[in-house]
Amino acid sequence: MNPIKQLLQHGQSVWLDFISRKMLMTDQLDRMIHEDGIRGLTSNPTIFEKAIANGSDYHESLIYLIDGHPEADAKAFYEALAVEDIQLACDALRHIYEDSSRIDGMVSLEVNPHAAHDTRATIHEARHLWKGIQRPNAMIKIPATPEGIPAIETCTGEGVNINATLIFSLEQYEQVAQAYVRGLAKAILPSHITSVASFFVSRIDTTIDAQLEKMDDPQAKALLGQIAVASCKVAYERFGKIFTDNEFATQSKRGARVQRLLFGSTSSKNPAYSDVKYVEQLIGPDTVNTMPPATVEAFNDHGKVRASLAEGLDKAHEQLRQLAEAGIDLGAVTDQLLQAGVASFADSYDKIIKALDHKHRVLLSGQVYR
């Protein structure tokens, strides 16, 4: 049994952090499901930018869309292409969704990142995409901004599967989990709702390490590459408390499931670190690790599996305390990462629209797009 399939024995599912039309139209995804043990799929505007804006994989679909709706704009074309990809992926993973009692087999699509700081716009976008995809194993990704938190609660209450994304801080995580529980209380069929809280990992170390490297204090230097995992361990501790308290217990009696903690951005950005660092150190029950294809390949090649997430909790608390003593404000760092994450996805979204607008004009002019 390969290491990724072994993770399932420890209560952790692996979702692929990637999507492309080529993967969906060939046997690539099916092979990753059956051979590698992939049990879900996530996407974001940056992933779609690479898939749609570059190359010609979507050329035929775009021509079909333009022929049928020549008056439509690039935003409508992007939504149609993205929704079609999500539907294809949902169909490929539907058997896992059903066999896992609606826990896995999920496929995520993000709302327009330009709505991230607008609660009403986010709710409208989430409803629109959920209705358009029409698959029970679809998930709508909502950034965990202050404006996104009430949208997560509202949409959960309406029965929408939510992937709360761009979580970098413990405070953000608690707000998301509590919003999910409040949403369940409003839901007619909470047993049909699946949700995850996506905690972004490697970017925390990238930013913190840059500050630690400037310090001469050996105790501070000892924290290099430690803070992201420490944050995840403490978040998992809080997950345990939130989903064993009385408020959630009331919803659990109605069939509600926990909102699993999902670890995203798990490819190592620092070449000095193991390429499976953010997988090996974050293994535990009721969790998901979403990996890009390279990390899937690396972990299946040399990953070591053990129940690591609950280990060293006291040490994790101590490391966060030492970071504060060193003068680094983790809250300020995570706020910065959230804003940068939203801006990065918005930039990718704009690049998709620009590329599709160009392709649209070229195709309408009768030129052959290459």
Residues assigned a catalytic role? 141
Can you tell me whether residue 165 is helix, strand or coil? strand
Can you tell me whether residue 32 is helix, strand or coil? helix
Pair 292, 267: CB distance under 8 Å: yes
How far does Cα 90 stand from its chain's mean position? 16
Cβ within 8 Å of residue 253, ≥6 positions away: none
d(CA 279, CA 4): 10
d(CA 271, CA 68): 48
Element of type H or E holding 48: helix 45-48
- Per-residue 3-state assignment (H helix, E strand, C coil) for 273-333: CCCCHHHHCCCCCCEEEEECHHHHHHHHHHCCCCCCCCCCHHHHHHHHHHHHHCCCCHHHH
